[in-house]
Structure 1
Amino acid sequence: MSQLSARRARILPVIAGAAVLAAATVVAAQGASAAAAGCRVDYTISSQWQGGFGASVAVTNLGDPITGWTLRWSYGAGQTVTQAWNATVTQSGSAVTAVNVSYNGALATGGSASFGFNGSWTGGNPVPTAFTLNGVACTGGVTPTSSPTGGSPSPQPSGSAAPKTVRVFWLKPTDVAFDQRYPDGIAAVMREAQSYYRQELGRTFALNNTVVEVVNGEHDRNWYITTNCTGSDHYWCVVGNMHQELMRRFAIGNPDSRWLCVGLISAEETNQSGGGASPGWVVLSGHDADGAAGVNGPMNRWYGGMVHELGHAFGLPDSTSTDGTPMSASFYSYPNTHFSQAQKNAILAGLYGGFLS
């Protein structure tokens, strides 16, 4: 997570300043070659018998080429996948996740991949009604991720965004391949933080059904790192650019009374890019995303760090000393760190205290 220093206090003015710069450059950055995302899914029950069935699924990529895919859907009648081929299929409750295997992950525009599975059922076996591919809803059409006319692009939420929830985004630049470890790992960190807040406060925040919304970024990593910077100081550039893109594309305020938002981007300049939080927002760069995915350091650091940054998003300042609370460097000792009673009171009385139940 971000370094504990006075620099965190700069996040609000820096982000606000970036909004002016972004407004001046966004039209020039958009063009007819804007990235697009879209998909179509054909789900067919190929055979059915008492208590069991076979199914085949064909997924067609209608957007820009992808190098790997994850298809998700949910069953509404208690069906269970028992065996699959041409994809790795897992299930948690009603939620099913199918991930490409080594030979069918790359899908060009218009390209398709198929897989099959056997399953069991009890009361019924209706066909699922909604699918997402790499976090994008499969509607049979294409949604632009930027507008060639310079207008406001359509948002691409990969799941529902219920009010008074913590809404989480992973922004993937155009030159970063999709990797399922990232949305899965970020979701695990958020669930851990959710459990910690319940332990500490006796109540906690809600997450959406699709915990992490995967956003295909409009630019490559270098653009996020170097654009809208002041001189050689790139500390806030990458997260400031992500923040502005998420707010614009999803029509989110800073802060926003509907959601408390968390954004992570897989981009940073080594030892130059950072992140932090302010009321209503957590914005984090590449090393945090890597850590959540399990590829950068021990997990207690990332668990404690998210608890710390969420504390800022709920309105808490940094502690003035290493005092055993997660608002100080004591977050590195997670889970052996605890909010003070004053911090608990401040969270519950703050702008987002009503989100906790």
Structure 2
Amino acid sequence: MKQNLSSVAIMLILSFFVSCKKDSDCKLCSPPTDKRPMADFTFSLDNNGQVPCTVTFTNTSKNSSGYTWYFSNTDSSNLRDEQRIFKIPRTYSVKLIALNAEGSDTITKQITIAPIMYSVVVYLITPRDKSFNPSYYKALKNATTNIQSWYRSQMGNNKTFVLNPLVLDTLTGLHDSTWYNSYGSTSGTDPRYYAFYNTQYELQQLLGSSYNTTNYAYFVYVAAPGGGAGIPGFCAMGDQDLKGLLGINPENPDPNRWIGGGGHELGHAFGLPHPDNQNGLAIMWTGYLIYPNCILQQSDRDILNASSFFR
């Protein structure tokens, strides 16, 4: 009797499953469906990824009924797709949260925006033990555009160097202010250039793989003691120049002298040498002391006319 009952039970079960013609006929035949959200997005960059760069974000999330984008601590959105214009060259973290009744899912992607190719990239570095000085920022921004106009007037063909839309960007240094003008493994052995080489090393640390003196000329000021210098692709000045731009350097209270000094070092970043003729009017000799009444010599203009940085 027990054997007969078992056989009947088996036959009933088999007939039940065979009777399921399709998934909708029987829940036991269908695998469970995961309705949890899966966040994802793609993005495209215009202008070859250079500032000003419009980035279009396309939401490809699945099983989602709501979305939250985070482009920065203060910039968020709940739209399905998004678009942003980035004017500052750097790497941004963009986060998307996808939501539904079952929960949420998050994905973060890195978006790298480059400066304009063959442009002058200007930085004001504030050491980690100092507070940002807005007066330095304003004076340096004005000086930079002043130098740009001076080069245009001297070229005689309306050419000058290109600046990025922001003109001047800011960075927080990795070191205290006393480090920049001190001897160490990155400073070189000549005390005149301690600050120059230390600043160059730190900028490489701050920018990482995006540091490129072939595609960009870096014009850098640090709010810390140190003298100025320049080589192809990079120049740096210290707070004596920043104070000079504000007219509070007792060595010379005329801001023009310090604007001219910046123009001189930037000339080195463009590959201009000190002139053999030692012309006192030439900005690449001592003419920066009488800026803006100094000159580019023809040999300077020839170099700049052949440079990708002048257009």
Q: 1:298 to 1:39 in 2, by over 3 A?
A: farther
Q: Which runs of 5+ in 1 are unaligned?
A: 1-37, 44-127, 142-154
Equivalence for 2:120: 166
The residue that corresponds to 1:315 in the other structure is: 271
Is the alpha carbon distance of 1:287 and 1:140 closer, same or farther for their aligned partners in structure 2, counting shifts above 3 Å?
A: farther
Pairwise mapping of residues 1-357 of structure 1 onto structure 2 (< 5 A)? 40-41=73-74, 161-201=115-155, 202=157, 203-228=159-184, 234-251=191-208, 256-268=213-225, 273-296=226-249, 297-320=253-276, 321-349=278-306, 353-357=307-311
Residue 264 of structure 1 and its aligned partner are, at CA, apart by 1.1
Change (3 A) 1:161 1:131: closer
Task: Give % identity.
Answer: 27
Q: Is the contact made by 2:228 and 2:265 (CA closer than 8 Å) also made in structure 1?
A: no
Per-residue deviation at 1:140? 8.8
> Aligned in 2, Cα 1:140/1:220: closer, same or farther, shift over 3 Å?
farther
Counterpart of 2:214 in structure 1: which amino acid? S
CA distance in 2, matches of 1:131, 1:196: 29
* Paired AA for residue 194 in structure 1: Q
Question: Quick check: 1:40–1:140 contact (8 Å CA) kept in 2?
Answer: no
In structure 2, the residue matched to 1:4 is: none
* Contact residue 260 and residue 280 of structure 1 kept, 8 A: yes
Deviations 1:126-153 (A, max 9, x none): xx967999x9999799xxxxxxxxxxxx
Q: What's the offset of the Cα at 1:39?
A: 6.5
User: Could you list the runs of 5+ residues in structure 2 that have no partner in the other structure?
Assistant: 1-70, 77-82, 96-109
Aligned length: 216
The CA deviation at 1:318 is 1.2
Tell me the alpha carbon deviations over residues 89-120 of structure 1, each in whole angstroms, 9 at most, x when there is no partner. xxxxxxxxxxxxxxxxxxxxxxxxxxxxxxxx
Pick which of 293-302 and 191-200 moved more.
Answer: 293-302
Bigger relative contact order, structure 1 or 2, given CA contacts below 8 A and separation 6+?
A: 1
Task: Decide whether the 8 Å contact of 1:304 with 1:334 is kept in 2.
Answer: yes
SS across alignment from 2:164? strand
Contact kept, 8 Å, 2:192 with 2:227, in 1: the verdict is yes
C-alpha distance in 1 between matches for 2:244 and 2:270? 22
Q: Deviations over 1:314-356 (max 9, x none)?
A: 112113424311111121111111112122112223xxx1121
Q: Which has the larger radius of gyration?
A: 2
- Could you tell me the TM-score, scaled by structure 2's length? 0.60
Distance (Å, rounded) in 2 between the aligned partners of 1:182 and 1:137:
25
TM-score, normalised by the number of residues in structure 1: 0.52
